[in-house]
């Protein structure tokens, strides 16, 4: 870890920052935790990317360090520093903007400079959460499962349940809340189910110049093309045993499969693909979950939620049903993980990312003291 200062024990007021692959903006959420238990949820806010900022980031998706990322880095740094102006955190969890993810190839790349952010906001910053896991043989994703476990404890869950995040990519965390710690054998299983909102957003942007299908309005008007859906489900990813993870653009085939369809039919079919990917993923759960709690932007899509409820043999509810904030759960997760990193606690384990042992990720950067004038 960078920085020589030790971190205090006890409860920490941490702010987590998340800019997802849907490229909508930066979520920021404050959490009070000791890195194991949730003490309090506090304020949250959102800073949307402008159309120009979103275009700048979209233009560098798939790129790696050294690929001419100066303009995109400026967008990421300024947006995150700006959203932090509303907080006075003791610790910041800075995920950065994922541009590329190849755990079995070049690694994983989250654009962002935690050293510079720590200096800009004058607070310690934990960042680069995924690299350690990938370097030690893990998928590097998903990383929210340890926080989902803490949330299951917070809501006093008694039976196995699942958290389903429908962001740019979909991921699921199956939890046995009878276990004492997330790294305990049998406590968790987590993996990416498949594409979720990202390809639908790309369709809307390319065809209609809109950033997403608000309320599933376009999908609601369309008809699902079953032939395209069957070809999608024939992808070998769905038969791979988890843990497993995806890059945002791993399923670019989706756009090819709906190329000849009308706008409405294409939106309906791609929404069905995202829901069907979840249904395929459920087959890997160690036991059927008592309920599925949904977070991320996909829970606002009534067409997507209807498809899931029709297909799954358990209640499917937005996490708000149990008093959680589905828009901020990922940001809260990185506040929680930041405290775990600062405490030297693991942030992933074999059943969440496939890494060979319990692993703590992240770099802790402290602001340097400015010389007196």
Residue 287 CA neighbour count, 13 Å, CB half? 10
Edge-to-edge, what's the strand order for the sheet holding 161-166?
A: 188-195, 169-175, 161-166, 292-295, 316-318
Same domain for 178 and 53? no
195 forms beta bridges with 169
Residue 82 lies in a domain: yes
Residue 302 lies in a domain: yes
> CA 162 to CA 285: how far, in whole Å?
9
Domain count, the chain: 2
Query: Per-residue DSSP letters for 95-158?
Result: EEEEEEEETTTTEEEEE--HHHHHHHHTS-EEE--SHHHHHTT------THHHHHHHHHHTT--
Q: Give residue 19's pLDDT.
A: 94
Backbone angles phi, psi at 65, to 5 degrees: -50, 135
Residue numbers of the domain that contains 344: 12-141+327-365
Same domain for 119 and 172? no
Residue 43 lies in a domain: yes
Q: Give residue 8's pLDDT.
A: 67
Q: Give residue 348's pLDDT.
A: 97
Q: Give residue 1's pLDDT.
A: 39
Same domain for 177 and 313? yes
> CA 195 to CA 54: how far, in whole Å?
20
> CA 251 to CA 246: how far, in whole Å?
9
Residue 344 lies in a domain: yes
Same domain for 176 and 295? yes
Residue 103 lies in a domain: yes
Same domain for 182 and 303? yes
Scan for tokens 């979840």, then name that residue. Answer: 278
Residue 373 lies in a domain: no
**Residue (of 114, 95, 90) closest to 39 by Cα position:** 90
- For the chain of 373 residues, list the mean pLDDT of each consecutive stretch of 10: 58 95 91 97 97 95 93 98 97 96 90 98 97 94 96 98 94 97 97 93 94 96 98 94 85 91 98 97 96 95 98 96 96 98 96 95 88 40
Q: Give residue 206's pLDDT.
A: 94
The structure tokens listed for 361 are 């990720």
Same domain for 317 and 333? no
Same domain for 120 and 223? no
Same domain for 337 and 238? no
Same domain for 190 and 292? yes
**Residue (of 339, 358, 342, 349) closest to 36 by Cα position:** 339
Indicate the DSSP class of residue 137.
T
Q: Give residue 20's pLDDT.
A: 85
**Residue (of 300, 330, 337) closest to 21 by Cα position:** 330
Q: What is each CA distance from 322 to 172, 181, 230, 331, in whole angstroms?
A: 17, 21, 35, 18
Last residue of a domain, one of 322, 337, 353: 322
Same domain for 346 and 291? no
Q: Give residue 204's pLDDT.
A: 95
Q: Give residue 104's pLDDT.
A: 82
Q: Looking at the whole model, is its pTM more than 0.75?
A: yes
Q: What is each CA distance from 220 to 142, 205, 265, 277, 301, in whole angstroms?
A: 30, 18, 9, 19, 10
Same domain for 196 and 296? yes
Residue 371 lies in a domain: no
Q: Give residue 147's pLDDT.
A: 98
Same domain for 133 and 196? no
Residue 227 lies in a domain: yes
Q: Give residue 329's pLDDT.
A: 95
CATH number for the domain spanning 300: value is 3.30.420.40
Q: Give residue 36's pLDDT.
A: 97
- Gyration radius of the chain's alpha carbons: 20
Instruction: Please give the span between the terminal C-alpha atoms of the chain, in angstroms, as a whole number.
Output: 30
**Residue (of 120, 196, 189, 199) closest to 354 by Cα position:** 189
């Amino acid at each position: 870890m960078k920085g020589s200062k030790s971190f205090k024990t006890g409860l920490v007021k941490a702010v987590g920052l998340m800019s997802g692959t849907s490229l909508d903006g930066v979520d920021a959420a404050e959490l009070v935790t000791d890195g194991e238990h949730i003490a309090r949820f506090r304020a949250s806010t959102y800073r949307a990317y402008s159309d120009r900022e979103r275009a700048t980031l979209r233009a560098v998706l798939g790129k790696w360090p050294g690929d001419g990322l100066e303009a995109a880095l400026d967008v990421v740094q300024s947006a995150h520093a700006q959203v932090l102006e509303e907080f006075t955190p003791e610790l910041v969890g800075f995920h950065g903007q994922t541009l590329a993810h190849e755990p079995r190839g070049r690694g994983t790349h989250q654009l962002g400079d935690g050293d510079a952010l720590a200096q800009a906001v004058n607070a310690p910053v934990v960042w680069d959460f995924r690299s350690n896991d990938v370097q030690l043989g893990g998928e590097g994703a998903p990383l929210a499962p340890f926080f989902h476990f803490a949330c299951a404890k917070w809501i006093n869950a008694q039976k196995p349940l699942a958290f389903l995040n429908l962001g740019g990519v979909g991921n699921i965390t199956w939890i046995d809340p009878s276990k004492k710690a997330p790294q305990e054998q049998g406590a968790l299983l987590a993996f990416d189910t498949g594409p979720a909102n990202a390809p639908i957003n790309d369709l809307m942007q390319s065809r209609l110049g809109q950033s997403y299908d608000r309320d599933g309005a376009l999908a609601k008007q369309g008809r699902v093309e079953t032939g395209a859906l069957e070809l999608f489900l024939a992808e070998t990813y769905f038969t791979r045993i988890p843990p497993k993870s995806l890059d945002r653009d791993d399923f670019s085939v989706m756009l090819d499969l709906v190329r000849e369809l009308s706008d409405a039919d294409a939106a309906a079919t791609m929404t069905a693909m995202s829901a069907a990917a979840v249904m395929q993923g459920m087959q890997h759960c160690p036991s059927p979950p008592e309920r599925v709690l949904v977070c991320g932007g996909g829970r606002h899509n009534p067409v997507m939620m209807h498809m899931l409820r029709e297909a799954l043999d358990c209640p499917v509810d937005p996490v708000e049903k149990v008093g959680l904030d589905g828009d901020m759960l990922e940001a809260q997760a990185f506040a929680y993980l930041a405290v775990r990193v600062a405490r030297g606690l693991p942030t992933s384990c074999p059943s969440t990312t496939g890494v060979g042992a319990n692993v703590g990720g992240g770099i802790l950067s402290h602001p340097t003291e400015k010389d007196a004038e």
